[in-house]
């Protein structure tokens, strides 16, 4: 699935709670909208993951 996200902020990823090691983070606001984007221009079957690959990806995050 592909989503569009609008009306959000981004900031430096600092503080005592850091869910990721990225330098920046996205902040959703009261006006943030997330919608499913349906388009034939975006490939939906570009990757094929196995259960083992998915589990490994989850453990790394």
The 10s digit of each residue's pLDDT in 9-30 is 988 988 888 878 888 988 899 9
Mean pLDDT of 34-60: 68
Above 70 in pLDDT, residue 7? yes
Above 90 in pLDDT, residue 34? yes
User: 3-state DSSP: the chain helix, strand, coil percent, rounded to 5?
Assistant: 15, 40, 45
How would residue 8 be classed by pLDDT, with cut points 50, 70 and 90?
Answer: very high
Distance, CA of 39 to CA of 27 (rounded, Å): 26
The structural domain count of the chain equals: 1
Range of the domain at 24: 3-39+47-60
């Amino acid at each position: 699935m592909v989503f569009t996200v609008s009306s959000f902020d981004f900031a430096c990823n600092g503080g005592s709670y850091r869910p990721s090691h990225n330098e920046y983070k996205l902040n959703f606001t009261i006006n943030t909208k997330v919608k499913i984007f349906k388009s034939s221009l975006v490939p939906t079957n570009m990757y094929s993951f196995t259960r083992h690959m998915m589990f490994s990806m989850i453990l790394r995050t």
